[in-house]
Structure 1
Amino acid sequence: MDRDAAAPVRTHRPARGAAALVAVLAVLLALVPAGTARAGGVVPSVPTAPTVPVASTLAGDATDDLSWGLLPADDDHGTDRPNFSYAVRPGDTISDTVVVTNHSAQRLELRTYAADAFTTTSGQLDLLPAGEGSTDLGAWITLGSGTVTVDPGQSLDVPFTIAVPADALPGDHSAGVITSLVQQASASTVALDRRLALRVHARVEGALAPAVEVSEVEVVHHDVVNPFGTSSATVRYTLTNTGNARVVPAESVVVTGPFGWAATTAGDGELPELLPGSALEREVVVTGVRPLGRADATVDVAATAVGIGGGATASDDGAGQAWAVPWAALALLGLVLLAALRGPALLAALRRRAARAASGGGRAAGSATSAAVPKSSAAGSAPEAGAAAQDPAPLTAAQLEEALERARAEGRAQALAERGGGEPEG
């Protein structure tokens, strides 16, 4: 598997010491679409930390019609090469040539130098800024006088050499051959540095030992409102190339419940090429997760070495956990249990209330009926008195006198009856 045919690197850096450059470039970024392709097959890189983010003012932007391209020369090292790649030994010296072509109508005065390459945390190949010294392959490369002048529409061969140190470590070393155009922004003290580069890879003879490390695995579970639905989880981790070979990793992320229940798999498969010593920060969203109380994530990465003599593999894995409490399902279950435990008591209370309401209505109807019955005899005076007792209206003096007289008469009659019943028969 050979990744050397990948497109060369295009980077853009501010000149050293330009304090106000970032503010100006932020405005330019809104005007110039990042990723515009140019002649020579070069593409822009995505600059991220630790480089200064400058994604605008590419070589060849339509704002000033400046454009140039880079290609490896056809020589003993090969023809129609997309970039530079060598198999070397400690102490070797390699000579090669980069062809610079001016596609614009103006003469270009370009700086030429080399810089170490690295993979950004987002997976893009980038080069060290102009002001930062290289310590690896970028320090082994020398490009002529350091400046070239290319007339409009012309091409120029720029030779360079690679002096491999005698104590160079085995494995892959990466850099870029860079051409740079520094311009002063109009009516400003800000200098603009436009860079165009080609990748350079050198594999030093010796044991090739690809290795990767999965670390800092973190799981974040996302709750779901539907008590019967599935949720999702975000798995974050860091993948570091700890070996000495360029590798292309492939990832697999699995999220399960307790005891491995309800496993769900996700991942992007093959990831961007990762240079030795570089690290990727990955974030994978896994859907279809069953919230069973806990979400266990397992990250498996298998990496394959690429480039000259590639094919060796390496792998590593990591794990992380998070609570995955099914709050919606628990709330529904609580309501069901509450209904089961309190339901009978609630029904009985409702029945008692209904019975009391019905009984109260019957008593009211009976009182109305008693009040409608007329007085007919002395024997019926007791119900009448009962009815009168229920009547809250006060008695008049005449009514009271009449009631007392009636009571005296009834008492005398009762006494006479008792005496008459006690005398012997004559």
Structure 2
Amino acid sequence: MAKVDCALKSNTLLCDRFKISHYPTLLWGPPSSFTWVSGESTGWEAIENGRKAELLLQFINTRVGKSFTLDDASTYDAHLVTADGIDYGQVAISNFDIEEATAQAMENIISQKLLNKKTRSSFVQFLQLLVVHHPSRNCRKGTAGLLMNLEELWPSLSTQDIEEELSDDGVIQEPDLKAVENFPICGEHIPRGYWISCRGSRNETRGYSCGLWLLFHAISVRVEDRLSSAAFRTICSFVDNFFTCKECREHFLEFCSSAKMKVSSRRQLVLWLWNAHNEVNERVGKVEASLGTGDPKFVKELWPTQTLCKSCWNEGVERKADTAFQDLFSLSDVYKFLLKYYGHALSSLSKGLSKLPQGIQDSDGHLRTQESTTSSAVTVPIGAALAIAFASCGFGAVACFWRTRQKKKKQVRRRV
């Protein structure tokens, strides 16, 4: 048995040889059929129904003449599925897709040339949000490194400096962002080029938008009350400047406008995002149903489902034509569930804990995190520490420092 990551450029020729077009692709054959020889490779066959365990096992049994069953081995440790209905194995997979979405967001921003002087502030604020509240240690560390080096990679300019940077036709000269593009925001080889929990049964469904929702939810449960309003504005600004689906962006910004004065705590931020996501699912689900463009294996529905969180649903409430979906839910239970699902579960599994610690919440339903402990702390260089300070202390003193530094560079250039 062997595996190959076709997202790596070093494997491009090999993957092209075996006509790999999507993830996952499973091939079956004797070792000789996979040797590197000239001409077409023969003797192997593609496993068409490999996504479901039952069908894959049926295929293997047919080829080897056995009668294995899924009861012969568990797909993951039973202790990861607990009485609260949360599938922690699935949560761990979601963390994989959150990293993928973060790295792909960066890739999209650069490749589609969305970074410029006007969007620089929004970009920096989003990085500041990630470096403190991202669930992945890899992404927090990578973002801290980018923030530390951003002033060298892309110097900020004051109004006077911008005037001096104008070309003859009055257009601001943008810096070369190749170095920013090549910065490993979540580690080497990410984005990997494929999804797991966010992979649709069709190439055009789910994917990046699904991963971005996961990222936003995971951030929302980690934000302190005093920073919730800033986090809300940062998420809205990110979508406004860097999400290219015009219709999607406009609908999301409508949610932002309607809640501008209402988000002042973590609870409000978490539930606002949950509400927006469900409203989007309801609207898009109806459109997809009428046009037949939805993913048949991932029909959009209200979340969390009753199977996933029974206590989140109000008992005895039936939905009628004039019933808002919010009336179906117990918001206090939904909030507690979201804290566990996107908060503690992701943190625990990303640290590789063998079992889930007790005491997920305190009496107020607030998340008890261990982000300040040595095991999960990120070593942030001084430059990034200054960047993080922006979010809590404002931009004044540090921004002044950078402007002074930039002016000195300008003076040196003029003398030269």
TM-score computed with the length of structure 2 as normaliser: 0.22
Higher RCO structure, 1 or 2 (CA under 8 Å, sep 6+):
2
Larger radius of gyration: 1
TM-score computed with the length of structure 1 as normaliser: 0.22
Judging by fraction of residues, say which structure has more helix.
Answer: 2
